[in-house]
Structure formats: C-alpha cells, structure tokens
Chain A
Amino acid sequence: MSRVEELTFKLLDAEISDADTEELEQLLSDSAEARDEHLACCKLEAGLRGRLGSVDVAARVMAEIAAQPVSSGGETTRRRFRLLSLPWLRVAAAMVVLCGIGLLAHLWTRPPVTAGPPAFAGVRIANADPGVTVLSGGERRQATGELPLRHGDMVETAYMRVASLVYRDGTRIVLGPSTTATVGDPTGKETERKTIHLWHGTSTAHVAEQPEGRPLAITTPGAAAEVLGTRFRVSVDDAQTRVDVVEGKVKLTREADGASATVSRGQFAASAPTVEPVAAPQPPRVRDALVALYRFDEGDGGVAHDVSGVAPIADLTVDEPDALEWLDGGGVRFSDRAMFASSGPVTKLVDACVSSNEISVEAWISPSTTDQIGPARIVTLSGDTSTRDFTLGQDGSQESWPPPGGTLYSFRLRTTTTTENGTPPAETARGTVVADLMHVLYTRAHDGAAKIYIDGVERATHGVDGDFSAWASDFRIALGDEFTRDRPWLGTYHLVALYSRALSPDEVVRNFRAGPRG
C-alpha cells in the first residue's frame, strides 16, 4: 500500500492527524500520480458508501415538513433544524434529580406495546449511542443518527448507553443507561404538553421555559414531577421515586393519594407506597481528598478564590478582568478571551496526585457554544500547547468547522505511558457538549481506569496505564485558555473542584445532586 493510499484511507476514516494531513496535502500538490491515486481511493469510497450505506430519512423529513404548508408559487417558510443552537438565555435555570419507583412496579406494569398514532411528538433523538432502540407501532429498530419520535414511541437504552431527546424549544432529556421510557401521550390526546413516562432507568432533563399551564411532566409508575422551567434527572431503582433539586423548584406527587412536596434547590424528596414525599436537604459535597475548590461567588474583581481550605491556597487571577461577567448567585462568564491562572506551581495538587496516582477533576460549566475545539481549555495544569500534567477541554474534529458531529469533552493526562502532551486522551462521544449547564467529572484510579461522567452518568471509559511520576512540578493551573493564549474556551464557570483521588460513581452522583451551589 502506498503512502498516499494509507493517508487517504486515514482521511476517509476521519482518523488523520494534523501532521498526516499536511503530508497528504504536500504529496497531492507535488504529484499528479498521487492525485490520481487519491482520487481513485475517493471514488472507491463513494462507491462503497453509496452501495452499502443505507439511509432512511423519511421520518425525519416528514417531521420537518409537517408544520409547513406546500409552497404555492414560491418557497415555503424556512425553518431552523439545529435545535441545539437555541439560546438558553431565556431558560429558567434549575436542576432536579428525580428517582423513580421500583423494579417490581416496572415488571408488573410493563409498558404496553402501542400501535403508535402517526402524530410526531415534537421531540427527536439526537446523537443516539449504539444500543438505543425505539419501539414504534409495534416495530423495534435501532436509533441511529437523529430520529423524530411519535407519541407513544418507547425508547430503550442498553447497558452503558444513553440517548438524548431534544424538543423544538431546546428542552433536552438524556435517558441514562438501562432505561425504558415512553414519549408523549400514547392516546394522542395530550399533544400540547411535553410528557415522558419513565418505566425504568435514569434520565436527566434540562427543560426550557414552558407555557403557563402546560408544565412538562415526567411520570413514573407511582409518581409524577411537574416543571415549568428546570432541568432534572429521573432514575428508577427498586424501591422509590426520588427527586433531587439542584436549582429551581419541582412538585413531586404520589399518585396513590395525591400527597405532594415542593422540592427546592439543594433539597430532595422520596415517594413510595410507605413514604410520603417530604423535602429534605441534600447531603453535602464530597470533601475527602479535596485539594482545590473554586465556587466563583466573588461577585466582582479579578480573583477566583480557592475555598478548599487546604493550604497552601491556590487563588486564580484573571488577566483580562473586562472579559469577565460575574453572575448574581454565583458563577463567572467568559464572554471574551481571558484566563484565570495560579501565580505559581500548585505543589499541593502535584504532590498529592503523584503520591496517590489518582485524580478527579470536576467542573460545573456552561459552554457558550458547541463548536469550540483545540481542545479549548476548561481546566489545565500545563506549560504550553504540547506539555501538560492534565487538561480538561472541549474538542472536536479538526477536519472542518463547525466540527462535524458536534464537540466532545476531552481529558489529557500525563503518565509514564502517555506523551508529554497527555495523549491519547479520554473522550466522550461527539455531540456530547451542549451550550447549557453541565456537570463534567473526570476520574482516574491508580489501576489505570479513567472515566468521564456527565450529569452523574458515565459517558466515557478509558484505560491510562502508568503512574504520575512523569508529572512536571512547575506547571500552573489555568482556566479558560492555555498559557500560550491560543486555546481559548468561552463559557460560564459555576464550580471547579480538584481531588487527589478517583471519586466513586456514588460520590460522582452525590456531587451532581448537590449542584453547582452545593
């Protein structure tokens, strides 16, 4: 196989590096023979994709045109397709965690296989993982790409798989692993209101402001949660329905007798046949092995204080104070290029992590856009663009912009088996990043197991062998950019925490439930 072929196939598989792209470009510009060979490979690829690739976009097309009149002598009204780009500024910010009723109830009240009315429910699956299936009109099929859902469609996710349901107004509900949920009203009568019935599993919802009198409802076999503008997660275990409110308010009602509780930010409530819903405070965030903590509640100025209480304190100073916008109630928005950085090396973090060979990096953030790449630096302990101890970033394909498929969360970690640049990175799937409040948490245990959790759900698993003895001790911490000032990240920081051990999955959920102000 020639070098041109090898590089072309890498390009076609979207697995080509910058250096290889440069080499290919050079080969193509130098030689007509190389161009012919390259073109022959491309023609073969087009043939294979056209011959073997299958596509069924009929449902998606019909969903898009359903609301449009047939043109009469002119073009019909244009409509936007990219629902994820809807502004979230008008969204009432809140977050709720709702855990649903038990497995027995699930087994006894297994969701019926509905015939499925033809009406679309105004929601689509976006970026479905493999292993997500949709039961529609009695037929089950794999959900690939994006798929509009009809009233009564049942979505099921396999172990370690998730599905994001996105409504036209930007409301987003992420069904977690091993989850079964019915979308909309199977009878087709309740079409004006967003409804999801969770039979089993977990979901996290981020709800845009809803019309008065038509709250979004997430029901379980024994309870219901209604919200007008909030974000929440729904899980079903074997005993109860539980609501955890991070921001905003949610009303939890026990179906059997109508007993209810209004659950506010920082509280949770449970409902079961023998448990009446009562709001109670959330457990506090995990503090064991906490090394640095930034809450961004200063309100003004150019310093983000390390409030971990762990000496020596590692405050961060911004270089462009005018680029900051401090938010009421906590948080700071980077509306232009800026960088928070420590004044010197953070030895307490390096020493603790090198000793434990473990780390957890947690961030409550709201990315400004879904097209930032670089990786765009969210949290970094590094020297420049190619040397680091670790970097949490937002990244995506470099092939074109906007990055095809959306962007992802990337974590580079230097060990004795990775490069000075911390590669290969752990990465979530493309399209994971949304311009919305997100809880991102990376953990790496001493046995090499690394994971990225989003909103408390494991979204990437990675193996990083070796230990941390290769860490440099003179790197500084930075938020929002690399020290070379060419990898900016724009968005809002609500909380950043650094731990010198890998948090357990339960601890990750605990910090998620505690919310950005917990």
Chain B
Amino acid sequence: MTDSRPSESTDTPTGELIAGVRDGRIELFEQIVRRYQQDVLSVVCAMLYDRSATEDLVQQVFVNVYRSLDTFEMDRDFGPWIRTIARNAVREQLRKSARYAKRLETYANMLETSLIDETSTEESQQRMQASLDRCLDKLPERARTIVQLRYSARRSFDDIAADWKTSAGALRNLLSRTRTKLRECIEEDVARQ
C-alpha cells in the first residue's frame, strides 16, 4: 500500500502498523489513531450543531476502522479509506439527528450535501484552510485570542468572561463579529487565488 502521510510519533509506516494489528498486536492501533485522528476530526466537524457529539463520533469512527481493518486492501491509500468511513459515520449521524430534530431537517440536509461531499472536500478544503490561516494571522490580538479560547481551549463564554472581567454577551458579539470578518477575509483571499 502507499501512504503519503508524514509520520508523527514514529517512523513505522502505516502499512506495517496495520499488518501488526491484524497479527494481534492491538497496541499498534494506538499509533494509527494518533496519526489519523486530526483527519477524522476535520470530517466529523461537519456535525456543526451537535458539537458535544464530535469526539464520541471520532472515537466511533476508529472503532469502526478497527472492526473493518481486515477489509482494507493494502495496495490502497489508508487516508482516503479512513475518511470514507468517517464520512459515512457523519452521514448516518446527521440522518439520525434530522429524524429527531424538530425543525432542522433543512439544515442537516445542507450539511450533508455541501460539507461532507467527497468531491468538494480535498482540494477546496485545503484552499480554505490555507486562507483561514492567513486570515487568522490578520486578526487583532483580542479577536484572535477569543477564537483560540473558544476553538482550541474550548472554554465557555462564561469562563472567559470571568477571566476578562466582561460579560458573556459581549464575548459572543466579539466572536460573531470576528467570524464575519474571517468569512469576508477568506472570500477575498480565495478570489485572489
């Protein structure tokens, strides 16, 4: 098989890890998880309004991968294969959510068709991420910090407000304005490319 991913914590090729797990060395699967969990997360992030379920679904994807490992053909790329499993898991979850949601069917359908469609993910996602990086760098310090605290540290508005001695409402407004700026910035950046 081929694997274009750079290794992270080890130089062991992914193919050898898979073979080892298949031979019963289950502990090697932990390296596979650590190597690909950010990839899976980027797919699972399409479940936008069900944020608390994100990590559960990432976990579920890897358990599914583990269960299906014998069906993986070693001459294929592992990355696309695992992302396909992730996309299927997201679709299933979104359908479940839509079935139970009161009025969000339209929203869930938009997500399913537009955010996790395979043909739109790879290249456009890379362009989007590159633009996002450039636009994040352009943000004022306070705006960049609130983004980091919300998305990286995953802190609540109330927690941040207590630290910053301001109101949670003011922080919500700040983050909303920041996201608007980011969206405009990314649109301009992509248009220039």
Q: Quick check: B45 and A57 within 8 Å, CB to CB? A: no
Looking at the complex, which one of A45, A49, A50, A65 makes contact with B63 (CB distance below 8 Å)? A65
For residue B81, CB closer than 8 A to chain A, the reply is no
Q: Out of A28, A41, A54, A56, which one reaches B183, CB within 8 Å?
A: A41
A50 contact from B55, B129, B186, Cβ within 8 A: B129
CA–CA, A9 and B30, complex, Å: 35
What CA separation (Å) do A71 and B63 show in the bound complex? 12
Complex partner residue of A51 from B97, B132, B156, B159, CB under 8 angstroms: B132
B33 within 8 A of A: yes
Given contacts A49-B45, A53-B41, A55-B58, contact A399 B104 (CB under 8 A): yes
Pairwise interchain contact A55-B52, C-beta atoms closer than 8 A: no
Q: Which residue of B lies closest to A22 (CB)?
A: B103
User: Smallest Cβ distance from B147 to chain A, in angstroms?
Assistant: 7
**Contact B52–A404 (Cβ < 8 Å):** yes
Interface string of B158-186 (1 = CB under 8 A from A): 01000000000000100111011011001
Q: A60-B59, A65-B29, A71-B69 are in contact. Are A1 and B52 (CB under 8 A)?
A: no
**A42 contacts B48, C-beta separation under 8 Å:** yes
Among the interface residues B59, B66, B177, which one has the most CB atoms of the partner chain A within 10 A? B59
A310 → chain B closest CB, angstroms? 39
Min Cβ gap A157→B in Å is: 16
How many residues on B have C-beta within 8 angstroms of the other chain's C-beta atoms?
A: 71
> In the complex, how many angstroms separate the beta carbon of B65 from the nearest chain A beta carbon?
9
| Nearest A residue to B34, CB-CB | A58
Q: Which of A15, A28, A61, A146 contacts B107 (CB 8 A)?
A: A28
Could you tell me the distance in whole angstroms from the C-beta of A79 to the nearest C-beta in chain B?
A: 8
* Contact yes or no, A57 B132, CB < 8 A: no
CA distance A400 to B102 in the complex (A): 7
Q: Which residues of B contact A398 (CB under 8 A)?
A: 102
Residues of A in contact (CB 8 Å), total 65
CB proximity to B under 8 Å, residues A375-415: 398-402, 404-405
> Residues of B contacting A330 with CB < 8 Å?
none
Known: A62-B33, A70-B26. A12 touches B103 (CB 8 A): no
Q: For B159, what are the chain A residues with a Cβ–Cβ distance below 8 Å?
A: 130
Starting from the known contacts A39-B114, A402-B100, 17 additional A-B residue pairs (CB-CB under 8 Å) come to: A14-B49, A21-B103, A50-B42, A53-B45, A53-B54, A55-B58, A56-B37, A57-B33, A61-B63, A62-B26, A62-B33, A64-B63, A65-B63, A68-B66, A70-B22, A70-B24, A70-B26
Q: What 6 pairs across the A-B complex have the smallest Cβ distances?
A: A50-B42, A401-B100, A52-B151, A405-B52, A49-B45, A400-B97
